[in-house]
A and B are shown apart, each in its own frame.
Chain A
């Protein structure tokens, strides 16, 4: 049902109906933003990436075949934008590799106010390489299969499986 509604909005958006596109994107904005927040741990960067994803979806809507869900396609685009951003940042600032990835100040403050605490595994997880973090998050939290993650990240499903396995192994050791 949801897929059908999406499809009708996609078809309208393809004919240049901006309202249909905004309606479609609004449906998944929260999902997308939350996914990006888990990767970036920063609200501003997540919002910027979500906006870039929206524009990319808008321009490439004609290439969406509809074989998978719209949300999966959107996640795929945002994951690649996130990876591109990281590559760009690493080129610009080599020292960034050595920095610890932590929650943004605002998020930390909000978490403290709400009395939230973070496990050691979460801290260790965030220090893992991104090509390992992304598949673990997609598989264990969002429930995507190895094949789907392979399509999202443009890698073989066997590679996804070994990255998830190795990532969890590193976490066990730490």
Chain B
């Protein structure tokens, strides 16, 4: 009983202090112009990032395809080895990615 009472008082004290912090914060606000500017800068950054990633994606795709074609034409055995390796590694990488995503969690309330 005493413990419960002590806990109740502690929580009340904490609430008072949190209220004090709210009081110190006042009434913070962000202006519409400021917000729009931040959003525009962010969108611009995202756009640049997207194009950068697109270029890297195409470059990687071309590189992989050329390797595949060369190995298929020149060394067919190597091509088969790569294919088998990809068949084994593919699912492992996929599950690792899914696991990581689940660990990060979804914010879809």
Q: In whole angstroms, how far apart are the Cα atoms of A136 and B17 in the complex? A: 14
CA distance A139 to B35 in the complex (A): 30
Q: Is the CB of A30 within 8 A of B27?
A: yes
- The CA of A65 and the CA of B108, in the complex, are separated in Å by 6
Contacts of B24 in A (CB 8 A): 37, 107, 110-111, 114, 116
* A55 CB–B CB distance under 8 Å: yes
Scan residues 106-128 of chain A and give those whose CB is less than 8 A from a CB of chain B: 107, 110-111, 114, 116, 118-119, 121-122, 125
Q: Give A133 to B80 CA distance when docked, in angstroms.
A: 55
Cα distance A19–B10 when bound, in Å?
43
Within 8 A of A (CB), among B3-26: 3, 6-7, 10-11, 13-18, 20-25
B: which residues have CB within 8 A of A? 3, 6-7, 10-11, 13-18, 20-25, 27-30, 32, 35-36, 38-39, 42, 46, 105-109
Contacts from A to B (Cβ < 8 Å): 18-19, 21-23, 25-26, 29-30, 33-34, 37-38, 41, 43, 47, 50-51, 54-55, 58-60, 63-65, 67-68, 72-73, 76-77, 80, 107, 110-111, 114, 116, 118-119, 121-122, 125, 136-137, 140-141, 151-152, 154, 168, 171-172
Say how far A17's CB is from chain B's closest CB, in angstroms: 12
Would you call B107 and A172 a contact (CB within 8 A)? no
Q: Are A119 and B17 in contact (CB under 8 A)?
A: yes
Q: Summarize B's interface: helix, strand, loop or mixed.
A: helix
CB within 8 A of A67: which of B13, B32, B105, B109?
B109
User: Nearest-CB distance from A24 to chain B (Å)?
Assistant: 10
Residues of B within 8 A of A30 (CB): 25, 27-29
- CB of B44 to closest CB in A, whole Å: 12
B42 / chain A contacts, CB cutoff of 8 Å? 55, 58
